[in-house]
Chains A and B, each alone.
Chain A
């Protein structure tokens, strides 16, 4: 790190400030670092698609093909109709046939309309294609082929009543889809929050406050505060402040003004972790990540499937817990925790066994 300087604006100054000859030598030496990217490498990584469809690969997909992919790979998180609010904010809903005509989603004007779906917001169909291609499905990003991405995008737009069932979405027909996007005219760039030129139109910030110092006009009334019943919603705040200092945390397990009952050191990780179970625990936690279990299961709360804690509580004490859990992990199933099926998992007996033992031990973090 001997070449590193503190402060100064541009590292370029390093050689600009030096003599011309040595500057040229430095420049030449710098040029020697890094190498030319090959066309094959660029093709592997440069996957972005712009609103003008630059970067869009050739291909096509039908609504019907999209439905098949959707039901196996998308519906468990987004719902059969893209309407689900269980795991992510809903994709579909809130747009009308009239919006498709005007290119403005009318419901965005209604402050009482709950939530905003992706289809209410997105103006550019390229955004959907690009994002599905680069980041979906959630636990296997980049696994969809271009034709599959066209198909899923077509199905999504069909569910939103933007495209008819017969539509074939392709690099040739993306522009037709764009012309029907419900919120295609809904973006504005009249703001001063872009730190460059040419993209946005506002010259000055939209709010101009003045720093009055005395006898200023005030807003005299407390208009909003957390109700008492929400006092402990974020956990005991006494445990979220340092134990020493000018201010301590309020014991929110007690009513306002009540004397605190406890000093509040949070349980230290060293105190809670049982050393004996440490090996299983660390190993199992790594496996949960490796096998993408955590895409559908969380530690303490229901996600797509039940929480690990709930599984541990329900099945951890049965006599055949290890065999039962390992079997369930491998074969999947439905009906025990609801109708959303868990697919069979391709993991080895050893990994399944370790996760099963961890569950039977109480699914400790």
Chain B
């Protein structure tokens, strides 16, 4: 199928001129011949042209005027999709987003990494609704490239670092794992380095790059506790658990047995109603709610229990947080309470003065979000936002606040509080405790400056 006219820089004068008289003749001829391409393209171009006008700063901001002829051609001239026959069922066995959504993509940040296999792509938070991240837009973090692993050959092994800690080390096939009692739960996953580029100063333009190592899915899987119970673990002595991946990096991370015992840690195969995507660990990954993404080991091949942590590469060289005293915090895992306004956000432009539905995401690795406050004056005054329910533990929570923009500069911020009473800090508070070189676990309040032109930019205050 041909995409919309993708050539940039074509500004249609006004929507009412979108088909001239010769164009009208062509349309009729083509309609007779059963061809709708011209019409569809013209329509797409006109829509794009209208968007360009609408996206202009305030001077041109009236985006929905009544044309002089007394009616909008988009209403008066019935389009092809209203007057023709549409496409058949199962045109795509697995449906795709509209061609007009081509801008909504996960993207790498230029210059962030030097290889494409040990790298990251960011989810387009500025374009998402609700709390679920479409699986194809889920952020990616690979340590040695991704694979599409044959599930019939994938195995999960459970063993112990010392034979005395487990009665029966076991091996499971995917068929067997999927026969076990399972649960489905919504959880966020956030990379420990999310917002890491912003510790010292503003470094990236949009919420995609500042906060996009964040996603939220409904995961389906078996509680790890259930599997360990089958193996006869000595829970008194085995207080640490290692997850290991089957990919080249064979990623390993230590997680606490307390979290496994809570029943929250899952050996998951399902994501948003289907199997995990290969980029997210197909066919099996660890789900460690509230804990940074690196611990959610993908392509999970092995679980080991032990009586001390492992100091794996990603908990002894990377994912350690440098403090002002020159020491590194090791085994930092919990993602503390955090929030960000996603619309309006950096790199966007407001279409006009007047009403806006400020919207954003809040989350906490320690439980439920209890409250989100939003400020439009740089933090002097705050109003409580509406939380979209259900509010779930260690899941994203969508919030909204009505706002009437008066066209003057405004600084939009959000501040989340979780059920433990922890309040999301400002940059000043966070830097006072941790300096600016930590890289990881930046949960500071984000500021977006709305300028008089309507353009929104990423700023930090002091």
Contact = CB atoms under 8 A, between A and B. Distances in A.
A237 interface: yes
B331 interface: yes
Interface residues of A, number: 131
Contact of A195 (B334, B428, B436): B334
A50 B317 contact: no
Contacts of B6: 265-268, 271
A289 B179 CA distance: 34
B114 A303 contact: yes
Interface residues of B, number: 172
Interface centre among A34, A122, A186, A266 (most CB of B within 10 A): A34
Interface string B213-229: 00000001011011101
B441 interface: yes
Interface stretch (B14-22, B27-35, B101-109, B277-285): B101-109
Nearest to A55: B161
Contact of A124 (B114, B311, B427, B461): B311
B272 interface: no
A31 interface: yes
B135 interface: no
Contacts of A191: 321, 329, 332
Interface centre among A3, A248, A263 (most CB of B within 10 A): A263
B103 A243 contact: yes
A131 B127 contact: no
Interface stretch (B48-56, B69-77, B78-86, B87-95): B48-56
Grouping DSSP codes into helix (H, G, I), strand (E, B) and loop, the A interface class, with mixed when no group exceeds half, is loop
Nearest to A119: B317
B140 interface: no
A250 B348 contact: yes
A44 B435 CA distance: 43
Given A12-B225, A212-B382, A195 B290 contact: yes
A14 interface: yes
A178 to B, nearest CB: 11
A320 interface: no
A48 B202 contact: no
Given A6-B183, A46-B302, A193 B441 contact: yes
A244 B179 contact: no
Interface in B330-375: 330-334, 336, 343-345, 347-351, 356-357, 365, 371, 373
A219 B312 CA distance: 40
A268 B230 contact: no
Interface string B319-333: 011110111111111
A192 interface: yes
Given A200-B331, A265-B103, A218 B380 contact: yes
B259 interface: yes
A241 B347 contact: yes
Given A10-B263, A219-B427, 14 more contacts: A1-B178, A36-B168, A121-B320, A193-B441, A197-B239, A209-B423, A211-B373, A225-B460, A235-B107, A237-B205, A243-B47, A247-B343, A249-B347, A259-B60
9 contacts: A11-B182, A45-B157, A108-B327, A121-B317, A121-B320, A207-B425, A244-B100, A262-B11, A294-B116
The 5 closest A-B pairs by CB, nearest first: A196-B256, A268-B3, A10-B263, A223-B462, A263-B48
